Amino acid sequence: MRMRLAVLAVVAVIGLDACQPQASAGASAGLAEADRAALTKLVDSTAAIIKAHNWDVWAAGFTDDAVFLPPNHPMIHGRAAIRAWVDSFPTINEFAFTNATVDGSGSLAWGTTGIPMSFTPPGGALMKDVSKQLVVWRKQADGAWKVVAVAFNSDLPMPNAPAAPTTPAKKGK
């Protein structure tokens, strides 16, 4: 079940375009205001696209050679493979982007965001997760911004993970 939760977090990540653009504190002036506005519009629409499970529209926001880094899963290369992967996601009930930042320079932009969500796995009970992501966009020749890389992971501990030691281990006698 935790894996499904992580996968759902990936969906959030999938909202790669999802980083709600805001200038970071101390951000450089490298990203034009028109580009910030375009990214803000893109991000604002991504949560609704994900909630609607409109995966074709969501996947169209990636470049053909995008790299997707979901938790506990091998790297996924390319828009088509990313689109195919998202079909395994459970039903998303709630989804949002929080604490978003966006910055960039020229034709590259990057952002971070929190992702609170809830979902219902097939035959399972409602599950909640909070995750975070890092997304990178590249401005295309037509002026559109598309995701070139995204990584995300859950704030929840892995199931059956060993407990963190409370004291340093002593080297044996």
- Give residue 13's pLDDT: 40
What tens digit of pLDDT does each residue of 102-135 get?
Answer: 889 999 999 989 999 998 888 889 989 999 999 9
**Cα→Cα distances 24→20, 104, 113, Å:** 11, 10, 12
What tens digit of pLDDT does each residue of 127-170 get?
Answer: 899 999 999 999 999 999 999 999 999 988 877 766 666 666 55
Mean pLDDT score, 33-51: 86
Listed in sequence order, the residues at least 6 apart from 172 whose beta carbon sits closer than 8 Å to its beta carbon are: none
Q: Please tell me the distance from the alpha carbon of residue 152 to that of residue 93, in angstroms, as a whole number.
A: 19
Instruction: Quote the mean pLDDT of the chain.
Output: 81
The structure's pTM equals 0.74
Tell me the CATH architecture of domain 2-154: Roll (3.10)
CA nearest neighbour of 63 among 30, 108, 33, 95:
108
- Give residue 141's pLDDT: 97
- Give residue 169's pLDDT: 57
Whether residue 19 has pLDDT greater than 50: no
Whether residue 83 has pLDDT greater than 70: yes
What tens digit of pLDDT does each residue of 28-38 get?
Answer: 458 999 998 88
Identity of the residue numbered 152: F
